[in-house]
Amino acid sequence: MRTTAVIVLLSLAAAGSAIAETRISDVDFIRASRCKALAASSVGAGVDTTKLDALLKEQSHGRAETILQRADDAAARAKRQARSTDAQSRLSAELSGTCSGFLGAAAAVASGQRAEPAS
């Protein structure tokens, strides 16, 4: 009986650590939300956001409401900036630089690997 309880607890701990490994930080969640908005805008014309959408949906579970709101704010700000012709080259560089890590992390989560954006 006692051995069974220990085995169950160890199994739960292992499952919990596997879940924790695939969770991105709050800061990265906010950045990924911004990147998704840039990729979906005219700046990222032709960029497939399907995997990034899935990553954000999966990663939103259990997030504090303030973090979700900040992610929405970052996405809205990115959309506004994408409409400005003055910022196009800077935003395009951001999309191909910083955001490429999130696009890769989204693909990794979709294939069952660890979610960790490239730095």
pLDDT tens readout for residues 71-111: 999 999 999 998 888 888 888 888 888 888 887 765 554 45
pTM of this structure: 0.69
Tell whether the model's pLDDT for residue 29 goes beyond 50: yes
The domain spans of the chain are: 2-110
Query: What are the CA-CA distances from residue 62 to residues 44, 57, 58, 67, 94 (Å)?
Result: 29, 11, 9, 10, 28
What is the pLDDT at residue 19? Answer: 44
**Minimal CA–CA distance to 59: which of 119, 99, 51?**
51
pLDDT tens readout for residues 42-59: 888 778 889 899 999 999
